Amino acid sequence: MGMRPPSNDTDEPSSIEFGIAAVDARLDEYDISYPVTKRDLERRVGHLDIAYDMKGNTLSMRDALGKVDRDEFADEQALLNALHPVFERRRERGTVFDRIRSSLPF
């Protein structure tokens, strides 16, 4: 997913990537050969923090991969399809602070 920020400053990027779009962009920075195992991915890209919402809240690839039930991915699309529900659930759940704030009456 991505959303365009206000266009007040031309030096800013034209969109903010989060969720699977951000995963896809970050994976493009690495030369990953498919099929690939979850263990290999954790070792190579587990350290990456990926934004899961527009606010810039992040989830590590290691944590995201830990929530996937598959141990091997035939190609990048299979990996993205497996990770998509993980990032969507995190985005929908929000942070603890977001949940507390939304329960307040003001």
Dump pLDDT digits (tens) for 40-54: 999 999 999 999 998
The pLDDT of residue 102 is 58
Predicted pLDDT of residue 7? 52
Please, are residues 71 and 41 in contact by the beta-carbon 8 Å criterion?
no
List pLDDT tens digits, range 65-89.
999 999 999 999 999 999 999 999 9
Q: Which of 74, 35, 44 is nearest to 62 (CA)?
A: 44
